[in-house]
Amino acid sequence: MQPEAHVSDVILRDAEAGDLDALVALSRKTFTDKFGHLYKPEDLSAFLDAEHGHDVYRTALATPGTLVRVGKTGDGALGAYLVCGPLTLPAEAAEPGAVELKRLYVDQPLQGRGLGTRLMEEAFAWAHAQNAPEMYLSVFSENDGARRLYERYGFEKIGEFLFPVGNHRDLEFLMRKPLCPGAPSGVLSSALSRCTVSCTAGAEIARPASGRRF
Ligand SMILES: CC(C)(COP(=O)(O)OP(=O)(O)OC[C@H]1O[C@@H](n2cnc3c(N)ncnc32)[C@H](O)[C@@H]1OP(=O)(O)O)[C@@H](O)C(=O)NCCC(=O)NCCS
């Protein structure tokens, strides 16, 4: 991807079978850029092969009830991706129909310019369309930036667990956000009530009360 790629040129769309190689490459690169320094090479490569390989994304693309969105930059490269689907995290007492924001990654040259936020809002629009009562995600305990973003959207930490990366174990935070299933378009969960706007598919969902630059 060109270092001067512009976020405004990034088009968000559903991932297609033809994106598989680029999606696998982006997912391995963005995980390694952010977390690679934490692991022994053998643990990192075992993890990337198990969790960021062609089979994982081929399955995600073929599984009903799974959202895989990509951000395509002006020069045709993939610069960001989002995966959402049915809950698989170790969340006790999760409500039936709970969903999970499984992966949210933006390539380094594009970070900090609102792309992650656009994908977060797409995740909420998708969850709303699924009539999901709540959304879960997990975040590495030392990933303060991502946790800050999630907390701004009303996610709250409800637990911890050990996340395997090869033979290494990371302390992971489990976060939850109540949603408002069946709410008539235009009204979202009270948890978003800090600043909600009318909601129809694709329209803006919510902004943290800070009114930040997103
Ligand atoms: C987290 C991430 C998806 C956010 O997307 P983005 O386009 O950079 O974010 P936006 O510009 O929409 O929002 C900015 C917020 O994102 C978070 N953020 C920005 N850069 C980040 C980074 N390198 N790592 C983690 N979080 C980051 C911060 O909360 C920031 O707000 P701040 O003003 O409080 O610092 C993106 O930064 C990223 O891919 N980071 C590295 C991988 C990662 O941590 N993924 C999430 C794993 S749970």
DSSP character string of the chain: --TT--GGGPEEEE--GGGHHHHHHHHHHHHHHHHGGGS-HHHHHHHHHHHSSHHHHHHHHHSTT-EEEEEE-TTS-EEEEEEEEE--S--TTPPTT-EEEEEEEE-GGGTTSSHHHHHHHHHHHHHHHTT-SEEEEEEETT-HHHHHHHHHTT-EEEEEEEEEETTEEEEEEEEEEE--TTPPTT---GGGTTSB----TTS--B--TT----
pLDDT reported for residue 7: 82
The pLDDT confidence band at residue 5, using thresholds 50, 70 and 90, is low
Give the binding-site residues of ligand 1, using a 6 Å CB cut-off: 30, 34, 104-106, 111-117, 139, 143, 145-146, 148-149, 214
Å from CA of 111 to ligand 1 middle: 6
Q: Give the nearest ligand 1 atom to 150 CA.
A: 29
Å from CA of 145 to ligand 1 middle: 6
Residue 30 confidence (pLDDT) above 90? yes
User: What is the per-residue pLDDT across 161-182, written as a single tens digit (0 to 9) for each?
Assistant: 999 999 999 999 999 999 977 6
Residue 199 confidence (pLDDT) above 50? no
Q: Which of 28, 89, 106, 124 to mutate to test the pocket of ligand 1 (most atoms within 8 A of CB)?
A: 106
Q: Which of 12, 143, 149, 214 to mutate to test the pocket of ligand 1 (most atoms within 8 A of CB)?
A: 149
Task: Sketch out the chain's domains with CATH numbers.
Answer: 5-200 (3.40.630.30)
Å from CA of 5 to ligand 1 middle: 17
Q: Give the nearest ligand 1 atom to 115 CA.
A: 7
The pLDDT confidence band at residue 4, using thresholds 50, 70 and 90, is low
For 141, the token pair is 């305990």
Q: Give the nearest ligand 1 atom to 110 CA.
A: 7
